[in-house]
Amino acid sequence: MSAHTIFDNAPIGSIIAWSDGTPQPPARFRKKLAAWQSSNSKGRLIRKQGGRGVGNVSLSAFFTLHEADYGASGVIAIRVHRTFSLEAKLHFTVVERPAVGSVRVLDRAGGELVYLATNEADAKEWLSRHGYPGAVLHEVTADEVGADAVEGRAA
């Protein structure tokens, strides 16, 4: 799929894989493998932002994926997010869609996904421990998850 297709059809909370189409090098070539992994990985879709203009500059629409967290002893030190413009020449695939009935926790209205809860009680319990005062909860509906089945595509 193209970046446009992901932007238009994948719901927030989906797991998206991206690839540049090159074969994976053998593990013994650590530098080549590390370079390959930067163009061939996956992450959770946490944000979509439409195109906009700032002065004389127009900014393309984009989406952001949460790729990984790094830390120790339950403390996250670094979050890795990847942002892709709709002009990205990579191939994208929806690996997994959020389950119907799960609840998205957004940091604010129109903001980015900070947690995908299994249900509303789980979302509220998570919020009580993590403190996002402007958080917004959105339940995942069958309409948005079932879009590919209606269109005849596999997700």
Over residues 36-95, the pLDDT tens digits come to 998 999 999 999 998 887 788 888 899 999 999 999 988 889 999 999 999 989 999 999
- Contact in structure between 68 and 80 (CB atoms under 8 Å): yes
- State pTM to two decimals: 0.84
Q: Where are the domains of the chain?
A: 3-97
- What is residue 143's three-state secondary structure? helix
Beta bridge partners of 53: 58
